[in-house]
Structure 1
Amino acid sequence: MVVQHRSGGGARAVCALAVVGVMAAAAGCSDSGGRDGIDAGGRSVVDERGGGDSLDAIHRAAAVLAGTGDGNRPGSRDAAGSAEVRTSMETAAGGTRVTITGRGTYDFRRQLGRLTVVLPKDAAGEYEHRPITELLAPGALYMKDRGAGVPVGKWVRVDTTALEDGNLVTGGVTDPMAAAELLRGADTVTYMGESELAGVMVRHYRGTADLGRAARTASPQSRGALAAAAKGFRTDAVPFDAYLDEAGRLRKVRHRFTFANEGPAVQVVSTTLLFGFGVSVNVKLPDDRDIYTGQIEQGSGSGGPGV
């Protein structure tokens, strides 16, 4: 099961990531094995090894992170609301694999985050680009130290609702809330069993999410970007692996995207790790005077993430 971009613009954006040297260790990603979880009538079913609530647990993951789902009573030790984040995005095209990594914090209630995105080293082992600071906000992505002719210290603002992939891959980081909201569109879920993740017991679920369904059921803040992605992809099916703790909090999620273009298919595996729940998140969006509105160079090796 793959996701193919309708116009090829998204594929070019992902290729731009490869040009600057994106390469992430996202091991163990696997397809959901087709649509075996859908019966002849098209109804969603779940593997009973996980119990009848497996699909419901996946659908509620975003609400739990935002503090509006089960196990998120104010003051509860299981409350989420915010978390520390680690991300990786591995791109494979024409036999070449490159990776972008990110680390920061995210507020799921306000859907605001701040991450430092690191591009990989060149063949000589040197970094060709300084780390990029990214601010994530509903409908917007802000990047500082992007390069490509943008003055140092200036920000670039991107309207994520205008991107053909809704910024699921363009910025080199999948917005953590968007990653969780995508699970609202799950139509097949298989319970894979329990495992340990960073010292925490988690339940592993594997399935396929429908972009269109996710966009229709997402929170108002996420709906625009996901709706753009639903329109920009030829197929809506997104295979995923999700890991939830006993409180229903999403600890890890991996999505697999495949873009079709004139050349070889471009595969992107985006992985998000969440930990340190309840952390303080301080995000101040840039003033208009600090946002660069001039020409951005295209096709440059210093281009940074593909926007």
Structure 2
Amino acid sequence: MAVQRYRDGGGARAVRALAVTGVIAVTAGCFGGDGASGAGDGSGQRSVAAGRPLDLLDRAAGVLVAEGGAETRTSMETAAGGTRVTIRGQGVYDFRAQVGRIKVALPEGAGGVDGHRPITELLTPGALYMKNRGAGVPDGKWVRIDTTALKDGNLVTGGVTDPMAAAELLRGASDVTYAGTTELAGVTVHHYRGVADLGRAARAASPRSRGALGAAAKGFSKDAVPFDAYLDEDGRLRKVRHRFTFSSEGPEVSVVSTLLLYGFGVPVRVELPDEDAIYTGRIRQG
């Protein structure tokens, strides 16, 4: 396996290759699709392996937009003060419209949740809608949150990192290691490790993602976000894991957010709630 490191400093890229041996074992969820050669973004790229990692990661969000919809599975593990909590989700997302619907399952013992019912989340540019959000919210009502006003830009608040934001974060990559190929449910993928800069990602993001990522760049205690990204032969992002760090009133909090994408091309329909279905009162905290 060849490991290559790519750095971008002021536009200049130095490449250093190291010959090593080893095997990468990756645990994955259920994926659809195949590993056919050739890029799906019309770039004429013959193979992902032949491309420059920094360029491939920069184009990853655009490739997903060309695909349209996709199914997704998410997980978010939070560690603070020796306590770990994992939140899981599953749903669909439309990368062209940047809207999605994900059902989030909270772990046992999570406070502020009536009967541990799953939370339905509707993701839109600049806003997050949540149903069954927590104690004090009437049944059938939604809570609307302005994601550009959140300190984390909703990268972690909702228990799900918006899929488009997760892809756009890769535009901020400046230090990337190519770690070879592996398989996700029979699909060949190329594994890249790196660090993304939140500020740089926000500046390079599409207009509808820029506000939330800009808020995150100001709110996190560390601008550097380590990641592992897996692209298939068409340059489609199949899996990405980000490691966020931020400070709260207590100890520093570490969050590992993982996004799995499959079933590309699936139709996605998201209906936003009417104004009279949105709860504007106080939400009790657990």
TM-score (normalizing by structure 2): 0.82
Cα distance, 1:157–1:40 mapped onto 2, change above 3 Å: closer
CA distance in 1 between partners of 2:154 and 2:8 (Å):
32
Shift of 1:278: 0.4
Cα distance, 1:98–1:54 mapped onto 2, change above 3 Å: same
Counterpart in the other structure of 1:240: 227
Task: Give the 4+ runs in structure 1 shifted more than 6 A.
Answer: 39-42
Which amino acid in 2 is paired with 1:139? Answer: G
Aligned-partner SS, 1:110: coil
Say which of 258, 265, 273 aligns to 1:271.
Answer: 258
CA distance in 1 between partners of 2:219 and 2:55 (Å):
27
Shift of 1:42: 7.9
Post-superposition CA distance 1:62-88 (Å, at most 9, x none)? 000001xxxxxxxxxxxx211000000
Which amino acid in 2 is paired with 1:205? Answer: Y
Using the TM superposition, name which of 234-243 and 178-187 deviates more: 234-243
> What is the 5 A alignment of 1:80-95?
80-95=67-82
The reply on whether 1:217 has 2:216 as its aligned counterpart is no
Aligned sequence identity (%): 72
CA distance in 2 between partners of 1:47 and 1:168 (Å):
32
Gaps of 5+ in 1: 1-35, 68-79, 301-307
Residue pair 2:155, 2:161 contacting (<8 A) in 1 also: yes
Post-superposition CA distance 1:249-302 (Å, at most 9, x none)? 00000000122345332110000000000001110011101000111112x1xx
> What is the 5 A alignment of 1:134-145?
134-145=121-132
Counterpart in the other structure of 2:54: 55
Post-superposition CA distance 1:13-59 (Å, at most 9, x none)? xxxxxxxxxxxxxxxxxxxxxxx854787845455576661110011
Counterpart in the other structure of 1:187: 174
CA distance in 2 between partners of 1:117 and 1:291 (Å):
19
Counterpart in the other structure of 1:205: 192
CA distance in 1 between partners of 2:255 and 2:94 (Å):
25
Residue pair 1:215, 1:226 contacting (<8 A) in 2 also: yes
Gaps of 5+ in 2: 19-48
Residue pair 2:7, 2:176 contacting (<8 A) in 1 also: no
CA distance in 2 between partners of 1:44 and 1:230 (Å):
24
Counterpart in the other structure of 1:4: none
Cα distance, 1:61–1:39 mapped onto 2, change above 3 Å: closer
CA distance in 1 between partners of 2:10 and 2:221 (Å):
23
CA distance in 1 between partners of 2:283 and 2:11 (Å):
46
Residue pair 2:88, 2:104 contacting (<8 A) in 1 also: yes
More strand by share: 2
> What is the 5 A alignment of 1:292-307?
292-298=279-285, 300=286
Shift of 1:217: 0.9
Aligned-partner SS, 1:66: helix
TM-score (normalizing by structure 1): 0.77
Residue pair 1:65, 1:250 contacting (<8 A) in 2 also: yes
Aligned-partner SS, 1:174: coil
Shift of 1:235: 2.9
> How many residue pairs are counted as aligned between the two chains?
249
Which amino acid in 2 is paired with 1:169? Answer: V
Residue pair 1:46, 1:54 contacting (<8 A) in 2 also: no
Shift of 1:233: 2.2
> What is the 5 A alignment of 1:126-141?
128-141=115-128
